[in-house]
């Protein structure tokens, strides 16, 4: 058995070959005529874009106005005017210690008030310390 | 020079085991590459019968052979600039033809998978060779049936190596595999063919 006997007869006739050749040549010719058209369109589009880029005026860039430099006037210090009270500090113990109940009672009765006045002169301060005692004693043994 | 003369010239070059394309055919290829349609037609005339016979051996269906031949020459025209003149033109042409036939086979399989049952049967029976109807003890019919039953890669290897009588290196170049792989595929295919044909002959008696 010879292997080259496998489908050794030509399946297509001369007419078939002629039709194939004609189809191939027609397709090639169509492709050849199609590409120049595409190239012309591409060239025309490129020219239009180039003209558009060259001649279309760009909108003027907005002028950014320079901000006026505002200088703050120097702060005038009133000479003899009495300075307002800026801060009232009352001294309190930062940490509460465990105290004796009697001492705790006494501290609640006697409270010191410290009032500090600042004047326009930073070297001069008026500090008023007053011990406030209740007018009536509510504590004590009942 | 006529197409027949070109073809004969190339056959002589091939049988003399020169891998390069014959000078006459090379001149025609160069002319076709430069846009000469007449030269491309000469190439088609010189090679269409070999291409269609190869497609017929792979596909086994007349309509698909027409389609494969046409598509092969369109691809040849598209890629003619890439052809390396140091190589054998028919090897390059066969490579394109085999790829086209593979694509058609893939499409046929897809069509077979997605087709309704009735159509699938007709598609499946369409690509069967017409000479299947010949008596089972006819050698040619047995051989055809056996080769068609081989797996795709082994079938292509055996068609190109044993039927088209190309060298192992040429078959490897066409199939994009190594010569060793081709040898193994051909050897396996031969063994299978021998077993099947013996079995069918035995069953026919």
HSE-up of residue B192 (Cα within 13 Å, Cβ side): 16
HSE-up of residue B175 (Cα within 13 Å, Cβ side): 26
The per-residue pLDDT for range B117-140, each reduced to its tens digit, is 555 555 444 444 444 444 545 777
The per-residue pLDDT for range B144-153, each reduced to its tens digit, is 888 888 998 9
The per-residue pLDDT for range B51-63, each reduced to its tens digit, is 999 999 999 888 9
Per-residue model confidence (pLDDT) at position A18: 92
B58, B68, B74, B80, best to mutate vs chain A, most A CBs in 10 Å? B74
Q: Tell me the longest C-alpha to C-alpha distance in chain B.
A: 61
| B93 closest CA partner among B136, B33, B50, B38 | B50
**Are A27 and B69 within 8 A, CB to CB?**
no
3-state SS, residue B38: helix
The per-residue pLDDT for range B187-196, each reduced to its tens digit, is 999 999 888 8
Q: How far is B67 from chain A (nearest CA, A)?
A: 8
Tell me which of B32 and A9 has the higher pLDDT.
B32
What are the contacts of A92-95 at 24+ separation with CB within 8 A? none
The whole-chain average pLDDT of chain B stands at 80
The per-residue pLDDT for range A11-60, each reduced to its tens digit, is 888 999 999 999 999 998 887 776 667 777 888 888 888 888 887 766 66
**Are A6 and B144 within 8 A, CB to CB?**
yes
- CA B107 from centroid of its chain's CA atoms: 17
Model confidence at B73: pLDDT above 50: yes
CA angle A32, A33, A37 (to 5 degrees): 120
Tell me which of B164 and B110 has the higher pLDDT.
B164
Per-residue model confidence (pLDDT) at position B67: 93
User: Which chain A residues have a beta carbon less than 8 Å from that of B57?
Assistant: 6-7
- CB pairs A-B closer than 8 Å: 73
Per-residue model confidence (pLDDT) at position A101: 62
The per-residue pLDDT for range A88-132, each reduced to its tens digit, is 556 666 666 666 666 555 555 566 788 888 888 888 888 888 876
Q: How far is B197 from chain A (nearest CA, A)?
A: 10
Tell me if B68 sits within 8 A of B59, measured CB to CB: yes
Tell me if B85 sits within 8 A of B26, measured CB to CB: yes
3-state SS, residue B13: helix
Distance set, CA A134 to CA A79, A95, B112, B142, B151 (Å): 40, 25, 109, 130, 114
The per-residue pLDDT for range B9-64, each reduced to its tens digit, is 554 544 444 456 788 888 999 998 888 888 999 999 989 999 999 999 999 888 99
Tell me which of A11 and A69 has the higher pLDDT.
A11
CA A14 – CA A126 distance, rounded (Å)? 127
| A30 contact B CB<8A | no
Q: How far is A14 from chain B (nearest CA, A)?
A: 10
**Are B48 and A4 within 8 A, CB to CB?**
no
HSE-up of residue A87 (Cα within 13 Å, Cβ side): 5
Please enumerate residues of B whose Cβ is less than 8 A from a Cβ of A: 37, 40-41, 44-45, 48-49, 52-53, 56-57, 60, 62, 65-66, 69-70, 73-74, 77, 129, 139-140, 142-144, 147, 158-159, 162-163, 165, 197
Interface pTM, i.e. ipTM: 0.71
């Amino acid at each position: 058995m010879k292997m080259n006997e496998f489908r050794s007869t030509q399946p297509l006739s001369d007419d078939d070959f002629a039709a194939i050749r004609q189809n191939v040549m027609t397709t090639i010719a169509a492709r050849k005529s199609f590409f120049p058209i595409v190239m012309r369109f591409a060239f025309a589009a490129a020219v239009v874009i180039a003209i558009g880029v060259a001649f279309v005026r760009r909108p003027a860039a907005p002028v950014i106005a320079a901000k006026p430099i505002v200088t703050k006037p120097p702060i005038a210090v009133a000479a003899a005017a009495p300075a307002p009270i800026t801060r009232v500090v009352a001294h309190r113990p930062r940490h509460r210690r465990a105290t004796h109940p009697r001492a705790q009672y006494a501290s609640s009765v006697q409270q010191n008030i410290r009032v500090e006045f600042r004047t326009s002169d930073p070297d001069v301060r008026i500090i008023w310390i007053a011990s406030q005692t209740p007018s009536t004693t509510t504590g004590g043994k009942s | 020079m006529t197409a027949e003369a070109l073809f004969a010239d190339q056959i002589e070059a091939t049988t003399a085991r020169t891998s390069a394309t014959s000078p006459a055919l090379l001149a025609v290829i160069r002319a076709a590459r430069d846009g000469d349609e007449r030269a491309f037609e000469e190439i088609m005339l010189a090679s269409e019968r070999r291409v269609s016979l190869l497609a017929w051996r792979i596909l086994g269906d007349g309509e698909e052979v027409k389609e494969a031949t046409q598509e092969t020459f369109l691809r040849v025209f598209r890629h003619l600039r890439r052809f390396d003149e140091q190589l054998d033109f028919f090897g390059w042409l066969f490579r394109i033809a085999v790829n086209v036939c593979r694509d058609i086979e893939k499409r046929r399989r897809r069509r077979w998978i997605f087709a309704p049952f009735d159509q699938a049967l007709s598609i499946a029976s369409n690509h069967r060779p017409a000479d299947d109807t010949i008596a089972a003890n006819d050698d040619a019919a047995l051989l055809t049936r056996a080769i068609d039953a081989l797996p795709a890669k082994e079938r292509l290897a055996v068609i190109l190596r044993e039927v088209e009588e190309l060298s192992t290196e040429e078959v490897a170049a066409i199939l994009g595999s190594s010569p060793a792989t081709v040898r193994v595929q051909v050897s396996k295919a031969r063994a299978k063919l021998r077993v099947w044909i013996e079995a069918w002959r035995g069953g026919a008696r």
